[in-house]
Chains A and B, each alone.
Chain A
Amino acid sequence: MLTFRLFMLQRVTALIMAPLVLGHLAVMVYAIRGGLSTGAILSRTQGSLPWAIFYGTFVVAVSIHAAIGVRVIAAEIFHMRGLLLNALSWALCAFLLFAGLRAVLSVTAL
């Protein structure tokens, strides 16, 4: 169920996610080893455009990547096709975007 366009989109989003995951892991290790409190972390992220872009980009990439992956599983395992398959893919993408961007906003907005 993968067209070339979806294949490329999934590969490109994977390429975007890879360094961001490494960055996120590095941040986690730094925050825990340094013993940063929740307040200390929020004081660094709130109002920070770089962190909003960092995690916002990750959320967008994940939403597209995961929706395409689930689309393939739904088609091949559950034999979903046509409108239902498109609706599922878009709905999952929209849900992940909404939930992810909401989380990003809550830690980066002032």
Chain B
Amino acid sequence: MSSDTKTLDVSVWRGDSAGGKFERFQVPNQQSQTILDVVVWIQQKIDPTLAYRYACRVGMCGSCAMMVNGEPRWTCRTHVLKVIRDNRIEVAPLRNLPVIKDLATDMDPFFTKWVKAEGVFHPTSSRDDDIVKVNPSSDDRILADAAIECINCAVCYASCDTVQGNPEYLGPAALNRAWTLVNDEKDGKRADILDAVSQRGGCHNCHSQGSCAKFCPNELSPITSIAGLKRETIKSFFKGR
């Protein structure tokens, strides 16, 4: 995985929801260059009409994810040297999401599913109440903490073959979020969350292939969260809730 030549051969997907094709660009090969740097260089130096999305450039905002040589990645933290093959890079919009233009995908289905999975906080007290103390070493909090650093980049969603085969499936990120709330002692609607993830397209559709955990840039394990949801829904079922 090295690149000694002075230019990179970069294929960038161009088009919209109606279709498109890859367009090739020659980009200077520089040290410590990320995939996002390459895309920005093309847009600033060659074609200002290239559409893509990014914000923080430091792996926090989760907005710059794209398919790089066929795999979903956060492009601002992906070094060219890590992914280049035969001096070529292929950049495409995230899989499993509708394309708006070029490399920018419509994230609506992704976030709609967060809401559908009850991945929203359900408060049990108001701002007038005292702040509830949370024991950081409690079993539930440890489970929640293990899954809480999601940056909503949709890399797991793009990597998931179940989402591809079943567009109704809520996907790893939404279910991972639901799992953090199931284990959040401040959340007041645990039963509603378990009910939401048990509907059509819910956690039981996961085939445990593990692409989500393999590709998550923050090294989270949505597959473990989904297994937890399956376990809890089964427990609720046998308890008659």
**Chain A residues in the interface with B (C-beta under 8 A):** 1-4, 6-8, 11, 72, 75-77, 79
Contacts and interface: CB of A to CB of B under 8 A. Distances in A.
A1 B204 CA distance: 9
Contacts of A77: 165
Interface residues on B, range: 10 to 19
Interface of B: 162, 165-166, 168, 198-200, 202, 204-205, 230, 233-234, 237
A7 to B, nearest CB: 4
A2 B204 contact: yes
Contact of A76 (B165, B198, B202, B234): B165
18 contacts: A1-B166, A1-B168, A1-B205, A2-B204, A3-B199, A4-B198, A4-B199, A4-B202, A4-B204, A4-B233, A7-B204, A11-B234, A75-B166, A76-B162, A76-B165, A76-B166, A77-B165, A79-B165
Nearest to B237: A8
Nearest to A10: B204
Main secondary structure of the interface of A (DSSP, over half): helix
Contacts of A75: 165-166
A79 B234 CA distance: 28
B200 A3 contact: yes
B58 to A, nearest CB: 37
A4 B204 CA distance: 6
B166 A4 contact: no
A76 B205 CA distance: 10
Nearest to B167: A79
Contacts of B237: 4, 8
A8 B166 CA distance: 19
A79 to B, nearest CB: 8
A2 B200 CA distance: 7
A3 B237 CA distance: 13
